């Protein structure tokens, strides 16, 4: 996210700010980006790394609880617009959107529906909109390739635990 802030500062005159100009709004966006990276993403990865079904279920619950909080944050930060950043992709969109590929992998590998239209309708629509955006769809990794990587990673993790 430091690189994203750098890009935002260097190209500040581009007319497409990534962070809001208002200091309070900017702080809120930074807070939620840190939340995504430090709390939500680790809980989602915990689903894959869990050694027992009980632990997996606990991480899944943490992940869904985090998505509910992010749903509320989206409602407030987006102000009824398409993205956390308003009309255009912003800082929190990039933070959360960077993990959408792995969210799809977790859904497929473990049969979980993370971005559920019933539980988090705003985020479910946001995720579709984000992934379909012209700036994103060309760089979003293919789910199959991420799945291969995840299986390799989990295999090595399992091997290291067995030693």
Residue-wise pLDDT for 28-59, tens only, equals 999 999 999 999 999 999 999 999 999 999 99
Number of domains in the chain: 1
In this prediction the pTM is 0.93
Enter the tokens of residue 97. Answer: 């959107």
* Residue 2 in domain: no
* Residue 101 in domain: yes
Structural domain of residue 141, as residue ranges? 21-158
Q: What is the CATH number of the domain that holds 121?
A: 1.20.1050.10
Task: Give the pLDDT of residue 14.
Answer: 87
Mean pLDDT of 79-88: 96
- State the number of CA atoms in the 13 A half-sphere of 140 facing the CB: 24
């Amino acid at each position: 996210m430091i690189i994203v802030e750098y890009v935002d500062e260097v190209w500040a005159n581009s007319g497409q700010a990534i962070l809001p100009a208002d200091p309070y709004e900017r702080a809120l966006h930074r807070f939620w980006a840190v939340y995504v990276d430090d709390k939500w993403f680790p809980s989602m990865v915990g689903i894959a790394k869990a050694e027992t079904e009980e632990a997996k279920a606990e991480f899944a619950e943490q992940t869904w609880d985090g998505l509910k909080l992010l749903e509320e944050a989206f409602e407030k930060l987006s102000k009824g617009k398409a993205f956390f950043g308003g009309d255009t992709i912003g800082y929190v969109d990039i933070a959360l959107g960077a993990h959408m590929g792995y969210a799809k992998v977790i859904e497929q590998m473990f049969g979980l529906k993370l971005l559920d239209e019933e539980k988090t309708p705003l985020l479910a629509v946001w995720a579709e909109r984000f992934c379909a955006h012209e700036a994103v769809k060309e760089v979003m990794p293919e789910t199959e390739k991420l799945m291969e990587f995840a299986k390799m990673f989990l295999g090595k993790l399992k091997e290291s635990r067995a030693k």
